[in-house]
Amino acid sequence: MKRKSVCAFALAAMLAFVGKPAMAASGNEAFDPVEYALPLMGTQSSFELSTGNTYPAIARPWGMNFWTPQTGKMGDGWQYVYTANKIRGFKQTHQPSPWINDYGQFVIMPVVGAPEFDQDKRASWFSHKSEVVKPYYYKAYLADHDVITELTPTDRAALFRFTFPENDHSYIVVDALDNASYIKVIPEENKIIGYSTKNSGGVPENFKNYFIIEFDKPFTYEATFADNSLKEGAKEQTDKHVGAVIGFKTRKGEIVHAKVASSFISFDQAAVNMKELGNDSFETLMAKGKQAWNDVLGKIEVEGGSLDQYRTFYSCMYRALLFPRKFYEIDAAGNVVHYSPYNGEVLPGYMFTDTGFWDTFRALFPFLNLMFPTMNKEMQEGLINTYKESGFFPEWASPGHRGCMVGNNSASVLVDAYMKGVKVDDLETLYKGLIHGTENVHPTVSSTGRLGHEYYNKLGYVPYDVKINENAARTLEYAYNDWCIYQIAKELGRPKKELELYAKRAMNYKNLYDKES
């Protein structure tokens, strides 16, 4: 494994001042940084007071799907908070922040006694004492149901392991959530399929997250529900809010596995994504997940300092390597394809999403350029595809354009990568898209492109009295973004008149100075 030994003080500007405790450096033990990454860090948050606004994202680095225990109610952006004491289900999530919220989510929950599907009735007490939380593995004991739930993911699939008590009425609930969903039970294949359309915006009309769940135990009970009405024996439902309940008789300590995969393209593609699990055992998949995290976290090895600082560093690095997530899939022929969250078509090439550049252009993307240039090349190619499919580079995407924050910092992300050697293949489209963003604003998402560009380009600032908020902030961001465009224009040998234009606009920040004060 390739490593870069970096002094702690040099990394402070990027993440945190941390150190490697003597206990981790002693002996002949393998370097194991993932064990210092704490997914629960930052979860003791609320709407009123943030200590991080995070949730435990159980995932592979940059994985398309994350999994998390759900303590919050359906649709709550604070889907897991440390102070909660009940779990409502185990959710496939794509949420980048509570403010942006989630999309394409669905929930799996084991219950015993009665086939409860209501999120409050199926919920179970749990304790952090019985919870094991690692980037690649999650385990919790559900006290109300006497069931241990474990999960370990790949990029687009996951394996669940449920340990049931002795009970004639053991069930697993699958909730496709509301906003129009579909579910079908296929008992002859020990399978449930469905799709979720739940989202918080930024999706085309044909958006669906198709999922497949395969069990290794035959069903003795099948039911579906639609809008709080359970129908025993029914195998298929389409309605605003649907789900399924399957059941079986279990012995004490009996283990039931569930293979889960999903796709934004189709059920067929979800079946292809299921192949990521192969025939691996739960322990083998866990080991592969651990290795995937150690491969990326192990790029940096810090020294000195305390155990807490060491945990802080690798916990922050774990968070830094979750987003932007992969929004592409590998088809049956081995081709990279993606469902476009911009035009609803299935197209070739890379796509990444769930990040906002106002939040990340200063630190995250320079860090990726430095440490993970190959991965960032894929991300940059995905940005080119976003422009081709929507007419704009994204500024905040989840999964498509979202109205959030100010600035045109896609210019910074794209130019920074190019100037540091992470170069996209289609340079002509890159530059064309940069210029387009300086002269236009998205017709429905005003934070994409440049709101107030007509004032800025003419006056050198966005005025206060034109019914556009954050005028000073926009002017400052646009000036810096113009400086970035000026840098790549010089690199590309653009005409002198063009260079002079962006050199001049880069100085527009001076227009905000009040010389008298």
Query: Tokens 């530059």, residue?
Result: 431
Contact 56, 65 (CB under 8 A): no
Backbone φ and ψ of 420, nearest 5°: -100, 15
CATH number, position 445: 1.20.1050.60
CA 457 vs. chain centroid, Å, equals 35
Q: Is residue 345 part of a domain?
A: no
- Token pair, residue 500, equals 């002079």
Domain boundary among the residues 277, 293, 309 is at 293
Q: Tell me the residue length of the chain.
A: 517
Q: Is residue 346 part of a domain?
A: no
- Token pair, residue 327, equals 């929004």
Q: Is residue 330 part of a domain?
A: no
Contact 394, 361 (CB under 8 A): no
| pLDDT given at position 305 | 83
What are the CA-CA distances from residue 115 to residues 93, 208, 248, 271 (Å)?
Answer: 24, 27, 11, 27
Task: Classify each residue of 312-337 as buried b or exposed e, where b means 16 or more C-beta atoms within 10 Å of its C-beta.
Answer: bbbbbbbbbbbbbbbbbbbbeeeeeb
| pLDDT given at position 21 | 56
Beta strand segments in 80-163, E: 86-87, 89-93, 106-112, 124-125, 132-134, 137-142, 147-153, 157-163
Domain count within the chain? 3
| pLDDT given at position 124 | 98
The range of the structural domain enclosing residue 238 comes to 32-293
Rounded Cα gap, residues 53 and 309, in angstroms: 20
Residue 367 sits in the same domain as residue 472: yes
Q: Is residue 444 part of a domain?
A: yes
Residue 313 sits in the same domain as residue 283: no
Question: Strand, helix or coil at 371?
Answer: helix
Residue 61 sits in the same domain as residue 24: no
Residue 357 sits in the same domain as residue 449: yes
- Token pair, residue 406, equals 């100010």
Contact 420, 369 (CB under 8 A): yes
Residue 312 sits in the same domain as residue 450: no
Residue 383 sits in the same domain as residue 466: yes
Give the amino acid at 234: A
Entry pTM = 0.93
- Token pair, residue 55, equals 């949730």
CATH number, position 269: 2.70.98.10
Task: Classify each residue of 242-267 as buried b or exposed e, where b means 16 or more C-beta atoms within 10 Å of its C-beta.
Answer: bbbbbbbebeeebebebbbbbbbbbb
Give the amino acid at 201: G
- Token pair, residue 87, equals 């779990």
Rounded Cα gap, residues 58 and 400, in angstroms: 23
Residue 158 sits in the same domain as residue 76: yes
Contact 386, 355 (CB under 8 A): no
Q: Is residue 517 part of a domain?
A: no
What are the CA-CA distances from residue 306 to residues 19, 57, 311 (Å)?
Answer: 6, 25, 9
Residue 40 sits in the same domain as residue 92: yes
Q: Is residue 22 part of a domain?
A: yes
Q: Is residue 339 part of a domain?
A: no
Question: Strand, helix or coil at 304?
Answer: strand
Strand 300-301 with 4-5, pairing: parallel
Full strand arrangement of the beta sheet holding 242-250: 66-70, 89-93, 106-112, 167-175, 242-250, 221-226, 229-232
Q: Which mean pLDDT values do the consecutive 10-residue runs of the chain (517 residues) have? A: 43 42 52 96 93 97 98 95 97 97 98 95 97 98 98 98 98 96 97 97 97 98 93 93 97 98 98 98 98 98 92 98 98 98 98 97 97 98 98 98 96 97 94 98 97 98 95 97 98 97 98 91
Residue 128 sits in the same domain as residue 192: yes
User: Which DSSP helix (H) or strand (E) runs through 487?
Assistant: helix 471-491
Residue 358 sits in the same domain as residue 313: no
Residue 221 sits in the same domain as residue 364: no
Q: Which of 303, 301, 298, 297 is nearest to 315 (CA)?
A: 297
Q: Is residue 328 part of a domain?
A: no
Domain boundary among the residues 293, 310, 342 is at 293
Q: Diameter of the chain by CA atoms? A: 81
Residue 25 sits in the same domain as residue 36: no
